[in-house]
A and B are shown apart, each in its own frame.
Chain A
Amino acid sequence: MYEIWLTLNILFELGLQYLPAVIGTMLLWLMLFAATRPGVGWRRALLPAVVVGAIATVITFFITPGMTLSSFDDMGYWVDWMNLFFYAAAFGAVAAALAWPIAASLCRKA
């Protein structure tokens, strides 16, 4: 329980550290939703959004070690791989969230 609390606090402090990027991304996300018009295909847009997220996850997975002054050679055990995956998945989730309203606008209901 304490570790969850600690993790939330680390994320909060990271959020404060990168506050302009956090606010900017949230505003962009809200603006993309606001820009959608009635009748857009939210449900049909899920799949392309997930695909975008998955692609972002894969790309992030491969570039993150280098971005953190490390490399795949430094992955010592499964905990390292799991952490790398979660970092990449977090970035992929952001990409999916941003892609969803865009995809919805492009996928109008039949």
Chain B
Amino acid sequence: MSDKPERLSSTQPADGGRRRFLFGASALPAVAGAGLPTGLALASTPARAALKTAARIVIAGSGLGGLAIASRLARELDGAKITVIDRKEIHNYQPGYTLVGTGIWPVGKVSDRNADLMPQGVDWMREMVAEFDPEADAVVTDRGQRIEYDYLIVATGLHLDYAQIEGMDVAAIGSKGLGSIYPGPDAAEATWRAMDAFRQKGGSALMTLPETFLKCAGAPLKVTFMVADRLKQAGTRDASRIAFHSALDNIFSVPRINDEVLRRWEKLDIPVTFHSKLVAIDIGSRRATMARPEGGRTEIDYDFIHVVPPMRAPDAIVNSPLPWRDGGFAAGSWLEVDPKTLRHRRFPNVFGLGDVNGTGKGKTAATIKKSAPIVAQNLIDVIAGREPSQHFDGYTSCPLLLREGSALLVEFDYNNNLTPSLPMIDPLQDSYFAWVMKYRLLKPAYMAVAKGRV
């Protein structure tokens, strides 16, 4: 590539067949009418003429972000050599973990074959990036292959740092009242087993929130709401206590949502302790150790605990020149990108997408929905010798489960503005619509994002 920009100076139950059929059938009029032909057109028609280029583009990661941008670039660039580096064969629908972990979905609904989602025209290298060398425009895989690139998209996701919690054993999730939906579908299913056993007898539930940036910051809140609802359904709520411990001075970074959830938890008798961080756990004794910033430690006995692990960038990012060097994002070694263009601040041929980005709000699939087209266009601009033309506003969406059958549809941006997609949506209103979105419609939307269509 000859048009590569010069480097800047340094500085994530029950679901019967009848139910599935009903909703499949409810989509029939549109699909059988305009939908199928439109859909076929959706799948094949590029929005504009493809840009001719011989650029070598490496995409590190094949989660939603990696797939979405690979699909877009494969469609919108003519002649580019696009390489996706990621070993995983199974693509997990992570927004479904809260549904599996709270007994709403069966675990089988969250896993698909990655091969079915990988776009045509890209090289899929089934290895992992072990080393980023942006100064030499190269990555090194865990099998030692060195891949040179002209442009790099970092979409690796993040690292669940359970190691920061002394005594934590991911393999024990599901036993001894230990829940944590994050490691994968099996952990989410095991969390539901632990929660289901807990709700039969009731007791003391301890819900945690770490101090680090998180993927889907609403997930710990959803699980808390659902624990309360499951206890109520089982008739054991009155004999139970639910306590939420946040390592921060809030439970959600958007003040209006934070206040709304706290107001609801007060009604639900869910007290919150701030500045209380889970630092150790004795799984066998069901005892958690919470630390306060000033140094005090408290031991809490529980019958059920939901562990939200601290999160940070993956080791390959940590050990590279790519993370923030100072400021709030440096601690987690998050990718140093401009929050608007999502272009790396020091390596102009590098862009970031999804959880790994050191930007101001937690990331969800909706973040990818909004930002993948922006990153794709900005990269195309750079390849064409222009400055990035698209700006990301930090849009994130979170259908916040309140109970089985109802949710809030929360959408917001970098500036904590509530930004409902449709003007009639009330983000603070208990809603069946928001529930159906989460329960039934978001996965289809997610698949359309992964295919680079929306």
Q: Do A and B bind each other?
A: yes
With A74-B430, A94-B28 as given contacts, are A9 and B22 in contact (CB-CB < 8 Å)? Answer: no
Closest partner residue, chain B, to A98 (CB atom):
B28
Of B422, B429, B436, B443, the residue contacting A68 (CB under 8 A) is B436
Query: Residue B25 at the A interface, CB < 8 A?
Result: yes
The smallest beta-carbon distance between A88 and chain B, in angstroms, is 8
On whether the beta carbons of B22 and A25 are closer than 8 Å, the reply is no
On whether the beta carbons of A90 and B448 are closer than 8 Å, the reply is no
Interface set, chain B 404-454, CB cutoff 8 A to A: 404-406, 421-422, 424-426, 429-433, 435-436, 439-441, 443-445, 447-448, 453-454
With A11-B31, A69-B405 as given contacts, are A17 and B24 in contact (CB-CB < 8 Å)? Answer: yes
Closest partner residue, chain B, to A70 (CB atom):
B405
Contact partners of B34 in chain A: CB under 8 A? 8
Chain A, residues 35-54, CB within 8 Å of chain B (1/0): the string is 00000000000000000000
Of A12, A75, A93, the residue contacting B432 (CB under 8 A) is A75
Query: Residue B295 at the A interface, CB < 8 A?
Result: no
On whether the beta carbons of A15 and B20 are closer than 8 Å, the reply is no
Query: Residue A21 at the B interface, CB < 8 A?
Result: yes
On whether the beta carbons of B30 and A11 are closer than 8 Å, the reply is yes
Q: Which of A14, A25, A71, A90 has the most CB of B within 10 A?
A: A14
Query: Residue A105 at the B interface, CB < 8 A?
Result: no
Query: Residue B90 at the A interface, CB < 8 A?
Result: no
Contact partners of A18 in chain B: CB under 8 A? 20-21, 23-25, 27
Closest partner residue, chain B, to A8 (CB atom):
B38
With A3-B421, A6-B445, A65-B432 as given contacts, are A70 and B23 in contact (CB-CB < 8 Å)? Answer: no
On whether the beta carbons of B32 and A26 are closer than 8 Å, the reply is yes
Contact partners of A3 in chain B: CB under 8 A? 421-422
With A79-B425, A79-B426 as given contacts, are A90 and B445 in contact (CB-CB < 8 Å)? Answer: no
Interface set, chain B 11-29, CB cutoff 8 A to A: 14, 18-29
Of A2, A5, A8, A25, the residue contacting B25 (CB under 8 A) is A25
The smallest beta-carbon distance between B127 and chain A, in angstroms, is 30
Of A8, A17, A64, A90, the residue contacting B28 (CB under 8 A) is A90
On whether the beta carbons of A8 and B432 are closer than 8 Å, the reply is no
On whether the beta carbons of B432 and A84 are closer than 8 Å, the reply is yes
On whether the beta carbons of A77 and B454 are closer than 8 Å, the reply is no
Query: Residue B144 at the A interface, CB < 8 A?
Result: no
Query: Residue A10 at the B interface, CB < 8 A?
Result: yes
On whether the beta carbons of B28 and A9 are closer than 8 Å, the reply is no
Query: Residue B35 at the A interface, CB < 8 A?
Result: yes
Query: Residue A22 at the B interface, CB < 8 A?
Result: yes
Of B18, B28, B32, B431, the residue contacting A77 (CB under 8 A) is B431
On whether the beta carbons of B29 and A94 are closer than 8 Å, the reply is yes
On whether the beta carbons of A12 and B39 are closer than 8 Å, the reply is yes
Query: Residue A34 at the B interface, CB < 8 A?
Result: no
With A10-B444, A21-B24, A91-B26 as given contacts, are A15 and B432 in contact (CB-CB < 8 Å)? Answer: no
On whether the beta carbons of A6 and B454 are closer than 8 Å, the reply is yes
With A13-B447, A94-B25 as given contacts, are A79 and B431 in contact (CB-CB < 8 Å)? Answer: yes
Query: Residue A110 at the B interface, CB < 8 A?
Result: no
Q: List 11 A-B contacts (CB under 8 A).
A: A6-B445, A8-B34, A13-B448, A14-B31, A25-B28, A68-B23, A73-B405, A74-B405, A83-B433, A84-B432, A94-B29
Q: Which residues of A contact B (CB under 8 A)?
A: 2-3, 5-6, 8-18, 21-22, 25-26, 29, 60, 63-65, 67-71, 73-80, 83-84, 87-88, 90-91, 93-94, 97
